[in-house]
Amino acid sequence: MKIKIDIDPQHEETPVITIQVKEWTDEVEAVVKMLRQHESEMPDAKGAAQLKRIVALEEDRSILLQPSEIDYIFAEKRKVFAMAGGRTLEMRMKLYELEEVLSSHGFIRFSKSVLGNLDQVDRFELSFNGNLCVYFKSGSKEYVTRKYVHGLKEQLLDGGGQRDE
């Protein structure tokens, strides 16, 4: 893949991205998806980031959550739940769907059944079996299994839960 950037004061204010390819490939699709995701996260005219809100259920009510309000998301008995503000809320989406949507908001896989919000982490404690115990600012805790510890360390070394803003 070649990348060409043309900087010229006579260009219009809004950047224009042109992709020239012989055929549509997975690589092209990934680039387009990344650009669209980045575009949806860009600040609007007022400077506010356009964060997606997520619908959760509590009893018979639907609740709109900002990703920043969620400590972690977990699957249990074929249902998906979010821990937010000390409350357990049922989610309508599947865990893998939430992982895809929330990865750009600081969420990372902690185990086969748990996604954690790195922006809400207070501290870590290493367990004797190689797992990490994660304590959230809200006081709740969850575990990172050995399989996912390496990915978490990499994410933290690359800037933690903070995204490019």
Domains defined along the chain, listed by start: 54-158 (2.40.50.1020)
CA distance linking residue 24 with residue 22, whole number of Å:
7
Look at residue 46 in the predicted model and tell me its pLDDT: 43
Would you say 163 and 106 are in contact if contact means Cβ atoms under 8 Å apart? yes
Mean pLDDT of the region 71-98: 93
The HSE-up count of residue 156 (CA atoms within 13 Å, CB side) is 16
pLDDT of residue 165: 43
pLDDT digits (tens, 9 = 90+) for 16-28: 788 888 888 888 8
Question: What per-residue confidence (pLDDT) applies to 137?
Answer: 92
Report whether pLDDT(161) > 70.
Answer: no
Tokens of 99: 């992982």
Cβ contact 86:37 at 8 Å: no
- Report the mean per-residue pLDDT for the chain: 83
pLDDT tens digits, 26-63: 888 788 777 776 665 565 444 444 456 888 998 888 98
Contact 63, 57 (CB under 8 A): yes
Predicted TM-score of the model (pTM): 0.65
DSSP-derived 3-state class of residue 96:
helix
